[in-house]
Amino acid sequence: MIKIKSGVYGLNKLMDGGINQNTITAVIGSSGAGKTTFATYFLKRGLEQGEDAIFITLDEEPKQIINEVVEMGWENIEDYIDEGAMVFVDAGGKQFSDFIKTELAGFVEEWKGYNARIIIDPLTPVLWSVQHKYEQRDLISFLLRETRKIGTVVCTLEEHSIMGDLSGPDLVIPMYLADNVIHLRYKSHENPELRDMKIIKCRSSRHSNFWHSYKIVKGSGIIVQDAALSAEMPPHVVDLNSRLEKELQKIPAARKKKLTPKISHSIYWTISLLSMEDIGTLDPDYIIRQILLEYDLLDG
């Protein structure tokens, strides 16, 4: 899988380097959480390195979107539109389900061979454009399957239910179909500036499982804070290598021969790939012990 940079500062390292190319990322959050900001800075990042950008909009007219985006600090968006690197598909006026059924395939054909970034902001009304669950599933599935042929997709989902509850009927189908799901939330309507995000799923990639606070900053878009929320992090930095060293010294002589150079290398490699986030609230010595047990180096 090729990783592409998300355009969201601080997010790439939480997804093992970025978003997998030609995947679908669903960004979920209630109104004002920062979904549109996420999506537009994702496009901006691609445009900056010569990729193309497609903005599929259902709610707002392109003119209004451009104004808001400029207001958020992306001042030269119109240059990209003028030079043809960025296009809008304004699907608000027409029945979007008709567009998907009749025009989408032709659109995708036109863009074949491109490596674009595509955003669908918001995706939620597409669900509402058909009545039955199975129709919704077919329609969304077709839309996502087609669009990913021409690039990497970010779609946004409105969260209407109680904040934090992702079991709402509007969310289940797209969350299931998406490769990656990122949940943006704010603590309460009284404190909308206290925001945090979590990567709910990320297919074929390691990813953080913690809530990470983030800010929306004009000109930067979204900035994810460095550390996971302190309650979920061990209070001290752990030097895994020296702990491993110590455990290895305790190996009974009779078992030492099992520690071949190959296995020794493998254990050190495994440990070197463990990040603090992987460890989370687990006891680091517990993890080391499990590894040594796996190679039959400890009694147990």
What is the binding site for ligand ADP (CB under 6 A)? 29, 31-37, 71-72, 216, 218
Q: Which does 31 bind (CB under 5 to 8 A by kind): Mg ion, ligand ADP, none?
A: ligand ADP
Q: Which residue's structure tokens are 């997998």? A: 20
Nearer to ligand ADP, 14 or 123 (CB): 123
Q: Which does 94 bind (CB under 5 to 8 A by kind): Mg ion, ligand ADP, none?
A: none
The reply to whether omega before 62 is within 30° of 0 (cis) is no
- The 10 Å Cβ neighbour count of residue 75 is 11
d(CA 293, CA 164): 39
Who's near 226: CB < 8 A, 6+ residues apart?
10
Q: Whole-number minimum distance, CB 35 to Mg ion, in Å? A: 5
Q: Which does 34 bind (CB under 5 to 8 A by kind): Mg ion, ligand ADP, none?
A: ligand ADP
Q: Whole-number minimum distance, CB 85 to ligand ADP, in Å? A: 22
Nearer to ligand ADP, 34 or 46 (CB): 34
Q: Whole-number minimum distance, CB 271 to ligand ADP, in Å? A: 39
Q: Give 259: exposed, middle or buried? Use CB within 10 Å, 0-12, 13-18, 19+.
A: middle
**Which positions from 30 through 69 interact with Mg ion, judged by CB under 5 A?**
35-36
d(CA 170, CA 136): 10
Nearer to ligand ADP, 68 or 138 (CB): 68
Q: Whole-number minimum distance, CB 181 to Mg ion, in Å? A: 17
Give, to the nearest 10 degrees, the angle between helix 284-294 and helix 261-273. Answer: 150
Handedness of CA 131, 133, 138, 142 (dihedral sign): positive
Q: Whole-number minimum distance, CB 295 to Mg ion, in Å? A: 51
Q: Which does 118 bind (CB under 5 to 8 A by kind): Mg ion, ligand ADP, none?
A: none
User: Would you tell me which residues interact with Mg ion (CB under 5 A)?
Assistant: 35-36
